Amino acid sequence: MTTPSHERGPGAADVDLPTQYQPANVEGRLYERWVESGHFTADPGRRPDAPAYSIVIPPPNVTGSLHMGHALDHSIQDTLIRRRRMQGYEALWVPGMDHAGIATQNVVERELAKEGRSRHDLGREAFVDRVWKWKGESGGRILGQMRRLGDSVDWTREAFTMDDRRARAVRTIFKRLFDDGLIYRAERIINWCPRCLTALSDIEVEHDEREGELVSIRYGSGDDAIVVATTRAETMLGDTAVAVHPDDERYAHMVGREIELPLTGRRIPVVADAHVDPAFGTGAVKVTPAHDPNDFEIGRRHGLPIMTIMDERGVVTAHGPFEGLDRFEARPAVVAALREQGRIVKEVRPYEHAVGHCQRCSTVVEPRVSLQWFVKVAPLAEAAGDAVRDGRVAIHPPEMAARYFEWVDNMHDWCISRQLWWGHRIPVWYGPDGEVVCPGPDEEPPAGWTQDTDVLDTWFSSALWPFSTLGWPDETADLRRFYPTSVLVTGYDILFFWVARMMMFGLYAMDGVEPFKVIALHGMVRDQFGKKMSKSFGNVVDPLEWIDRYGADATRFTLLRGANPGGDVPVAEEWAQGSRNFCNKLWNATRFALMNGAHVRGDLPDAADLTTVDAWILSRLHRVAAEVDARLEGFDFAKACETLYHFAWDEVCDWYVELAKVQLADERAGTTRRVLGEVLDTLLRLLHPVIPFVTEELWTSLRGGAAGETLVTASWPVADPARHAPEAEALVESLQRMVTEVRRFRSDQGLKPGQRVAAAIDFAGSPLAAHEEGVRTLLRLTEPGEGFSATASLPVEGVTVRLDTAGVIDVAAERKRLEKDLAAARKDADQARRKLANESFMAKAPEAVVAKNRDRLSQSEADIERLESQLAALPSA
């Protein structure tokens, strides 16, 4: 679309930008052009002298779709990678997905259930084929959604945790860990989901505060009686001891004796164990090693028998009247039986406690003793802690390091086996006589031997992500060039689980070389009131809806403006609307520049040839460039975006463009066109990593649409201190204060912003006199004509502006306002004088407080002078 000539300034050319920015007409077209041109594809052999920069994307689940957490995470990573690309780095951002063992198996099993079948009807091999088919047809929707957000990932290197290369990496590291004695199989207590019928890792268990019932039960009788309290009465059927603290004198005579376990006819010992808190409850606890992790450890220390009283579905298997009851049915039945025997010491009462639930199906998790595969984490976790302690890996923000150490310094052995069919099958085979072998990825197991039926925890394969995506275990060019990766961007909520595992495996597999140099942690996206987003709260926001409505740039900008290091990120739809308006503001400013012949060809004029206004905006531009650069380097995206927003909107659009209109109409036009082009060119470069689409469309238009030019590979702005112009900045700031004060007066009088008012301006030798035309343009002030009579006088910045507001303002209301302000100023001045005249105050007050009162007095006296002058200038009533 070409702008009509009557809308353009002198020296302008035709403008091809539409009058309004429509994201839908720009985003898809630009993204495909970027991908097809290979701008996101890294080459390890290209530019060997260029520094390398790499990020591996936290792999989203193959079952997932883009949510606000992803949008924030990806916007941060894209900002980092785009900026490094512009800085001349050989930059690689690796995309990919996680196979999400439990979630994906559940999805396909639900499909089968609709057909009236289960996975067992298909058999293992056919079921796994069915999952691969689902993945090919329906999985990975999020990859397309990443394109809509603008992710500049290298699609030629797309990875999947179950593809052949990743499978080879899994087999390799399992073999090494196994041979080094760091993987073992044992009966241990683990998190068990009675619905998914599999072990769960800690991260797959979500704990919610729930109201349960605390029951106090008397074990034994007479002098041998001990009272214990529990929220899970049904587990008493599997008790094999009662434990007390070794120093608890109340029970010293009981230690080593046996007491009767109610309802069972069994007798169990009383043991002394330091784990027991003597101040909690009665100071005695029941010990059920098969169904509580703490009890399991007590049982190991004291050689207690392990009695499993539930099957894998949570059904009671203990012989007796409760056999066959579900665990939640057995609980009230056991309490009723105990009450009947007079064993309930206190009536059941409510008790708030944390209850673990399966992350995938929300079933209450059951601690269960089971034969599983484990990683011995102690040496691996120690190395992961040392890498941060000695500075090889930095955590941003630094205060998050304490959480990291809390996790790695207290890590338990990692249960890595899952009772699923979808996933990396454990590469261990069993012989006919109980032999065990773990062949490497290039070795065949002995003929006729049976492979373990379990699969590996999904987090096992994703722990290899920083190096398996670069080709490990092969010595690839990517691995040599891009490992260790530069930064890991992720939410603080998985610092303990995924990040720590990557650190352990990266250091182990890569001979002590850390998997990333920096861990940059961000918070959770919340609603505008700081509330967690949840379907049950009805406050979940779909980022794709915002992209449809406001554009990808507005969605990204909204998220990044709230991304303070490590802090949660509140969002609201009106903020997305404001971000869209910001994009439109840039659009309109660039159209104005093009309509008036702005360009970026040729060198900038020397500083001596610049007007004060041009020197000011270039000085501010280079200060902003330096600040934004420092903020992005420190992962402070919120402050970087805030700086860019206010510079673009307030200084460039609201001040410089308006002042430039005067210069574009006279002999200064050539210089101003070049400066205006330079400012927009640099501003769009600075904004591009954050809002890539609108900046690309505007920048290429500003550059004349030259073939092959793109912001993706344009150079990143480098601040030039030589462009700093303190005198020009001071003068324009004075002009801004003057204009702002007169605008405030106009607003107080109810004058519309566009309403013209006759005024005489006495500059009294002020350097602002050179900018009279600009001042009049900004303030909508006309020259005083015949019959001019000032009704208001405003002394501001050494300049007096006399306005003829007769018939325009309410003089009585203005006098009343000024008198009120004058009374307040006099009161402030009197208070400051009294303090400064008080010898006791002056002797005791800190110098900073004294200085503050002096400044207060000085400001109040200036206000009094200004207000008295304005009152004197008002016409008499």
Residue ranges of the annotated binding site for ATP are: 535
Sign of the Cα torsion 254, 256, 257, 262 reads positive
Nearest to 150 by CA among 30, 21, 42: 30
Can you tell me whether residue 526 is helix, strand or coil?
A: strand
Report the C-alpha dihedral over residues 395, 398, 400, 402, rounded to 10 degrees: 100
Q: CA 513 to CA 483: how far, in whole Å?
A: 9
Contacts with 494 (C-beta within 8 Å, 6 or more apart), sequence order: 58, 203
Maximum Cα–Cα distance across the chain: 116
Write down the residue that tokens 């995938």 correspond to.
Answer: 360
Q: Is 88 exposed, middle or buried (0-12, 13-18, 19+ CB in 10 A)?
A: middle
The total of other beta-carbon atoms located within 10 Å of residue 59's CB is: 25
Can you tell me whether residue 510 is helix, strand or coil?
A: coil
Contacts with 516 (C-beta within 8 Å, 6 or more apart), sequence order: 393, 466, 484, 485, 486, 487, 488, 502, 506
CA 554 to chain centre: 17
Q: Which residues are annotated as a binding site?
A: 535
Sign of the Cα torsion 15, 20, 24, 28 reads positive
498: DSSP letter: I
Task: Please say whether the beta carbons of 554 and 576 come within 8 A.
Answer: yes
Q: CA 230 to CA 251: how far, in whole Å?
A: 19
Helix or strand holding residue 375 (H, E) = strand 366-375
Contacts with 12 (C-beta within 8 Å, 6 or more apart), sequence order: 594, 595, 596, 597
Q: What crossing angle do the helices spanning 692-702 and 573-595 adopt, rounded to 10°?
A: 0
The total of other beta-carbon atoms located within 10 Å of residue 49's CB is: 6
Task: Please say whether the beta carbons of 428 and 438 come within 8 A.
Answer: yes
